[in-house]
Structure 1
């Protein structure tokens, strides 16, 4: 394929966003608007130029990508002027693909079709047919051939009836583009240099304008305010949800599901309403996620049940685990196979061994827990001394009675029994009862009392 340069126009302030940061840094799903465009451009083009103006330093700092060529546009004098800023860095023997930093859902397949047309005619234009074309430049055709683009404010009454509109996206032989740009003027109602004027110039020199009409209008929709951003977010999520369901994922209501990242899943998985997945999430076979859960950067095994209102982030959930409701699994936690993490339980930076149970109202942090451990209601690990975090180790088969505090660093032995209501500050031996309260007449031999 001929050498392709992407020129992404991202210099606008986006005042209708009513936001401090530049419009192209607004987020759709898991990426900024400009990030979506860059993904497609970098996959197709050998060089990517981004024209920035308002907040340009913010935009550069956000991406920190050495492969991007940043070009400044100090004055916003129109799209033609913006493209001119990139041309000194572009060879004539190439294709220039003009994209927009606030048009995030453009597909690579569409751009491939468009650039392929340039070799035939030198100029290829992407258009779309809208039921309501108000505000867009109209495509003027004669004998089905594109003759010009007329902006809304410059269009006649007859031209305003045309429903085929310019998307702004075009691919042009770079040598031709340089020649046309040098002839632009600002003799229009806006007093700007319109990139679209090069179409009439090309026609005037005998060029036939190649045309690609995009079918999905969301693919070429721009974002100017928060309403349009939300509209495209839903379109993006609806498209993802449809793809997932076609691949076998059961979504109880695809309109109430968000995936803001990458999702992989096995067979017979079900996700209920208002679940949000972020980052990289993988789900095994026959796993169910109940309503109102947020799961971020997590690997979930087979036959897992996640009950409502649970938050899981940067964790690994083993096969057969049972999580929630109202559970919080914090980063660097590894939940073993067949573990139960019950209601109002928080686990942080801990490994929970196979078959262990933390059923109610507990906090377990910086802990290595063995297999078949039972943690009673209200148990907490006191892992922070005000300066440093310390580790708690709990051996296989241990039973921690309700309302117990384990003051780290501390080791609870295998098959140890910790009496309810204890505050354990010293290591507890294997196979023995340990508690910290007054002796009772029913206590038997082998008890170690911390008092």
Structure 2
């Protein structure tokens, strides 16, 4: 799409969000792995505007810092500027606070920072309708099943826009109108600035309503249009925890639908929880109760059994993650098997065809190609070569009470059950470690190391027999 250098997108994110009952500013509440404001920024960026201006107010420094620190992670490359609404006196007050920035542009689109479901395609259609209609203002109109709480769009006898009637002002006739204000607008900046100057405070809170500018623009011989959108769910705002759950459910259904369209098998989509930035290859299968979060990528022909949780992992092709496993910030290469009930902690890498089995924990370690860590084992701060077999109950003792130390296990080593490696220690390739050993020193290549006390049997010192 061609850059719209004369267009500014204004995102209103100044409100307190008191109904959220949270210390977290409302725009920062997450929906499918991204704060609400990130969803708004991404949708706005699809317009390729000259700038995106975010109006902040409540906890402004915190909101601005979060946005600035994550622009790259969210994939936002458009120019971002901020305006602060010092007095939280309504939506028009928020736009007034940004007017010195907005006045540099010909057109402004106004979005809400708490409406994470709007699609970029819809915004592009809105902007196109505004341009083609040669309008001075445009409001997004949606048909909703229950209009209670929304401002109704009142049309004139010719079907054009007349005015917006707020819920508190409705009567028996207007209360039944199902076309409501979707809360997003496009304005000619000069017409908007003129209308803002004429606003008077309204309602019990003496707020300035942006909706009133459309009627004022028409009174000044400007044209106001309604952009109808069939998908009312895009306009749903988040004002409470219940709203947040509804929005997340809708967005998760979208994500899952797109994955299935691209060849991913979701056994029960309604019981599968996948974040916005997750990528999954074709012919992979995800069973119910799976949670895939963050920027996880999953290759083709993978199998995820139920109850799996994955966060920020890079997973290759033909990987099997068995029931109940938890993986975070790790890399799993092609052909690996993990679980059941395995835990890969941050910094873990499984080379191709490696196996980490039931009730094993791996942390900040490399498991070599084809190596096996099959059961009841802790591997921490370890560099393991290819073809290693680790027996059950093996532990790397990597912490001395002050510092972490590394263990090195060379290629094709065989480690018996119940072995303790006291780091720092190196086991050179092709070595064997006897079961029950505690290894504190280097083991040379091709050696057999046994470090355990000799068995002593004292006869007649066992448990007394009872008749």
Deviations 1:145-170 (A, max 9, x none): 11100101012210111000001200
**Secondary structure of 1:62's aligned partner:** helix
Distance 1:83-1:321 versus aligned 2 partners, 3 A rule? same
Which residue is 1:60 aligned to? 64
Query: Do 1:92 and 1:173's aligned partners in 2 also have CA atoms closer than 8 Å?
Result: no
Equivalent-residue separation in structure 2 for 1:187 and 1:250 (angstroms): 53
2:344 is equivalent to residue 341 of structure 1: no
**Which residue of the other structure, out of 232, 242, 251, is the alignment partner of 2:257?**
242
Distance 1:192-1:380 versus aligned 2 partners, 3 A rule? same
Equivalent-residue separation in structure 1 for 2:81 and 2:179 (angstroms): 33
Equivalent-residue separation in structure 2 for 1:370 and 1:76 (angstroms): 61
TM-score, structure 1 normalization: 0.94
Which residue is 1:448 aligned to? none
**Which residue of the other structure, out of 127, 130, 152, is the alignment partner of 1:118?**
130
Distance 1:2-1:140 versus aligned 2 partners, 3 A rule? farther
Which residue is 1:99 aligned to? 111
**Which residue of the other structure, out of 299, 321, 329, is the alignment partner of 1:314?**
329
More displaced 10-residue stretch of structure 1: 128-137 or 407-416: 407-416
Q: How many residue pairs were aligned?
A: 441
Which residue is 1:23 aligned to? 26
Deviations 1:222-272 (A, max 9, x none): 001000001100100001000100100000111111222423333321000
Equivalent-residue separation in structure 2 for 1:93 and 1:280 (angstroms): 35
* Structural mapping, 1:401-412, within 5 Å: 401-412=416-427
Q: Which runs of 5+ in 1 are unaligned?
A: 442-451
Query: Do 1:125 and 1:210's aligned partners in 2 also have CA atoms closer than 8 Å?
Result: yes
Q: Which runs of 5+ in 2 are unaligned?
A: 72-78, 457-467
**Secondary structure of 1:411's aligned partner:** strand
Superposition deviation, residue 293 in structure 1:
1.0
Deviations 1:316-367 (A, max 9, x none): 2122211101101122222122211111111111111122111111011111
**Secondary structure of 1:166's aligned partner:** strand
Superposition deviation, residue 2 in structure 1:
5.4
**Secondary structure of 2:58's aligned partner:** coil
**Which residue of the other structure, out of 55, 80, 83, is the alignment partner of 1:51?**
55
**Secondary structure of 1:121's aligned partner:** coil
Superposition deviation, residue 117 in structure 1:
2.7
Superposition deviation, residue 80 in structure 1:
1.5
Equivalent-residue separation in structure 2 for 1:379 and 1:92 (angstroms): 67
Equivalent-residue separation in structure 2 for 1:325 and 1:141 (angstroms): 61
TM-score, structure 2 normalization: 0.90
More displaced 10-residue stretch of structure 1: 151-160 or 43-52: 43-52
Equivalent-residue separation in structure 1 for 2:59 and 2:161 (angstroms): 36
2:433 is equivalent to residue 418 of structure 1: yes
Query: Do 1:76 and 1:82's aligned partners in 2 also have CA atoms closer than 8 Å?
Result: yes
**Secondary structure of 1:224's aligned partner:** coil
2:219 is equivalent to residue 215 of structure 1: no
Query: Do 2:407 and 2:423's aligned partners in 1 also have CA atoms closer than 8 Å?
Result: yes
Distance 1:153-1:342 versus aligned 2 partners, 3 A rule? same
Query: Do 2:255 and 2:276's aligned partners in 1 also have CA atoms closer than 8 Å?
Result: no
2:138 is equivalent to residue 135 of structure 1: no
**Secondary structure of 1:153's aligned partner:** helix
Equivalent-residue separation in structure 1 for 2:83 and 2:34 (angstroms): 22
**Secondary structure of 1:430's aligned partner:** coil
* Structural mapping, 1:243-262, within 5 Å: 243-262=258-277
Equivalent-residue separation in structure 2 for 1:92 and 1:395 (angstroms): 65
**Which residue of the other structure, out of 145, 156, 162, is the alignment partner of 1:147?**
162
